[in-house]
């Protein structure tokens, strides 16, 4: 099973990488980490499949050298990882030196293998202590986050290839405070509006803080989903536009144009924090690159029975992954070219996550994830088309290096290029890993 592309099809210097996130792989019970709001969220029955947590996860905290060997041996150039806020500041304020030491060792080990480190400062593990103070609903979170960003940067920032502030603000805010699916599990439009703004203010404050420290490789990682109207009916077309607004346009418009989409303010405006307009200058502090996470499209219909934005996702006709997500590579091309044309212009774009979940099994020592090989292949070709159409895409990271903790789905969904047996922690590279090695590793 091989890909139809090779490294030489991409522009010189294009970076191929593998991505992970701290809480999903490290093991949050090790090294003096404090509880994050995922630990407290999972403790309430019904929130997470089997009430599972990241306490052990892939035990990457102890096995990081073996995992980094896999990245190097797969022919990848770069490793995207995140630091855990709850590990570095277990009570939300005081620094756990053991936590910083871990990321120092990790950074050295990445560099020793000739890999480039791509850091994400926040991939969802908010210290539970800060969540108890209101978390993303509390305006103070922006300053708490900037302090944390400064602390991490002071220790490892000089060795990073890039630094991203926040991973997927839509999930931090909307999925977690309006849809109630991720921690802290709220279904509250007022909480959601505040989180939608504060997560961007936190990003802006951190960019200002790290710029002042001389950092010139700052970005943010946004997730995008192609919003497809479920039918040609004007109500469905308008519903898809609202979906596109709160999911796709809200964040990128604020960052690049210092404004929020008017059609979304129609719904959120009454719930926004007072005086939010004055923060848009900070939110729009220029970034050096944009990270794009892309997985699927959504098919959106008008839902007259639900509150604003009165939308519902309906099943579409395309084949789906184990998450039930439609496989739609054209959406990645559409998003990349649209971002370049309408928002980011010449700012470099990096595809920081792309991948799929499948019910993989080890058979005779192998995992033949042919469907994932096809998925990666089709999406890489979509990236190539976007580059040919002028989008300045400079890298691509597969999600994920390892099977890992898939948030509210616990360990039930496998996204890895490398299979993990959670009983033994044995790693088994899948066919998709071998396909990358063949295409980009020169073997």
Q: Which of residues 82-141 bind ligand IFM (CB under 6 A)?
A: none
In the complex, least distance from residue 409 CB atom to ligand IFM, rounded to whole angstroms: 8
- The residue among 340, 352, 351 whose CA lies nearest residue 390 is 340
In the complex, least distance from residue 235 CB atom to ligand IFM, rounded to whole angstroms: 29
In the complex, least distance from residue 334 CB atom to ligand IFM, rounded to whole angstroms: 19
168 binds ligand IFM per the rule CB under 6 A: yes
User: Over the range 58-72, which residues count as b (16 or more CB within 10 Å of their CB) and which as e?
Assistant: bbbbebbeebbebbb
Q: Which of residues 170-199 bind ligand IFM (CB under 6 A)?
A: none
In the complex, least distance from residue 375 CB atom to ligand IFM, rounded to whole angstroms: 13
112 is catalytic: no
161 is catalytic: no
Which is nearer to ligand IFM, 24 or 253 (by Cβ)?
A: 24
26 binds ligand IFM per the rule CB under 6 A: no
Q: Which of residues 414-433 bind ligand IFM (CB under 6 A)?
A: 415
CA gap 403, 401 in Å, rounded: 7
Which is nearer to ligand IFM, 250 or 397 (by Cβ)?
A: 397
Run of H or E residues at 17: strand 15-19
353 binds ligand IFM per the rule CB under 6 A: yes
Which is nearer to ligand IFM, 127 or 229 (by Cβ)?
A: 127
52 binds ligand IFM per the rule CB under 6 A: no
CA gap 202, 172 in Å, rounded: 12
CA gap 219, 416 in Å, rounded: 25
CA gap 218, 161 in Å, rounded: 10
DSSP state of 227: E
321 binds ligand IFM per the rule CB under 6 A: no
Q: What is the CA radius of gyration of the chain?
A: 20
CA gap 12, 434 in Å, rounded: 22
- Is residue 50 classed exposed, middle or buried when 0-12, 13-18 and 19+ CB atoms within 10 A define those classes? exposed
In the complex, least distance from residue 84 CB atom to ligand IFM, rounded to whole angstroms: 13
Please, are residues 274 and 194 in contact by the beta-carbon 8 Å criterion? no
399 binds ligand IFM per the rule CB under 6 A: yes
Distances, alpha carbon 391 to alpha carbons 113, 228, 338, 441, in Å: 30, 22, 9, 25
Among residues 168, 225, 326, 434, which one is catalytic? 168
Structure tokens at 407: 């948030």
Structure tokens at 283: 């939110």
Which is nearer to ligand IFM, 224 or 260 (by Cβ)?
A: 224
Tokens 């890039």 sit at which residue? 162
In the complex, least distance from residue 399 CB atom to ligand IFM, rounded to whole angstroms: 6
Q: Which of 165, 176, 293, 296 binds ligand IFM (CB under 6 A)?
A: 293
Which is nearer to ligand IFM, 206 or 222 (by Cβ)?
A: 222
Among residues 26, 353, 406, 434, which one is catalytic? 353
Q: Which of 15, 17, 21, 183 binds ligand IFM (CB under 6 A)?
A: 21
CA gap 195, 251 in Å, rounded: 12
Which is nearer to ligand IFM, 256 or 293 (by Cβ)?
A: 293
User: Which sequence positions are flagged as catalytic?
Assistant: 168, 353
- The residues binding ligand IFM (CB under 6 A) are 21, 24, 168, 293, 353, 399, 406, 415
């Amino acid at each position: 099973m091989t890909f139809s592309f090779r490294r030489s099809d991409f522009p010189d210097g294009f970076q191929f990488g593998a991505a992970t996130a701290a809480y999903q792989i490290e093991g949050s019970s090790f090294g003096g980490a404090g509880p994050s709001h995922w630990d407290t969220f999972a403790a309430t029955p019904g929130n997470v499949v089997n009430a599972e947590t990241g306490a052990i996860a892939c035990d990457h905290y102890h096995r990081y050298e073996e995992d980094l060997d896999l990245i190097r041996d797969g022919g990848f150039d770069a490793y995207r990882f995140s630091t855990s806020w709850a590990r570095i500041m277990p009570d939300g304020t005081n620094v756990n030196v053991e936590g910083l030491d871990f990321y120092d060792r990790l950074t050295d080990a990445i560099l020793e293998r000739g890999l480039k480190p791509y850091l994400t400062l926040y991939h969802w593990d908010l210290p539970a202590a800060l969540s108890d103070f209101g978390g993303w609903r509390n305006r103070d979170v922006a300053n708490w986050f900037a302090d944390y960003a400064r602390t991490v940067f002071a220790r490892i920032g000089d060795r990073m290839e890039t630094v991203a502030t926040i991973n997927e603000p839509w999930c931090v805010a909307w999925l977690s405070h309006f849809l109630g699916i991720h921690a802290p599990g709220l279904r509250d439009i007022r909480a959601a509006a505040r989180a939608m703004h504060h997560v961007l203010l936190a990003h802006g404050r951190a960019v200002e803080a790290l710029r002042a420290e001389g950092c010139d490789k700052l970005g943010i990682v946004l997730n995008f989903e192609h919003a497809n109207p479920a039918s040609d009916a004007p109500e469905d077309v308008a519903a898809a536009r609202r979906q596109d607004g709160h999911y796709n346009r809200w964040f990128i418009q604020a960052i690049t144009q210092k404004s929020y989409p008017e059609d979304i303010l129609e719904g959120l405006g009454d719930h926004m924090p007072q005086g939010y307009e004055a923060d848009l200058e900070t939110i729009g502090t220029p970034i050096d690159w944009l990270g794009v996470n892309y997985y699927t499209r959504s098919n959106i219909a008008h839902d007259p029975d639900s509150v604003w934005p009165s939308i519902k996702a309906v099943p579409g006709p395309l084949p789906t992954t184990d998450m039930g997500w439609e496989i739609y590579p054209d959406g990645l091309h559409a998003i990349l070219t649209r971002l370049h044309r309408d928002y980011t212009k010449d700012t470099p774009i990096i595809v920081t996550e792309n991948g799929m979940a499948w019910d993989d099994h080890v058979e005779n020592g192998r995992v033949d994830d042919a469907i994932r090989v096809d998925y990666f292949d089709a999406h890489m070709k979509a990236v190539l088309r976007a580059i040919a159409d002028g989008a300045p895409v400079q890298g691509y990271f597969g999600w994920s290096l390892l099977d890992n903790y898939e948030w509210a789905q616990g360990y039930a969904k496998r996204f890895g290029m490398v299979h993990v047996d959670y009983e033994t922690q044995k790693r088994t590279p899948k066919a998709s890993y071998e396909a990358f090695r063949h295409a980009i590793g020169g073997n």
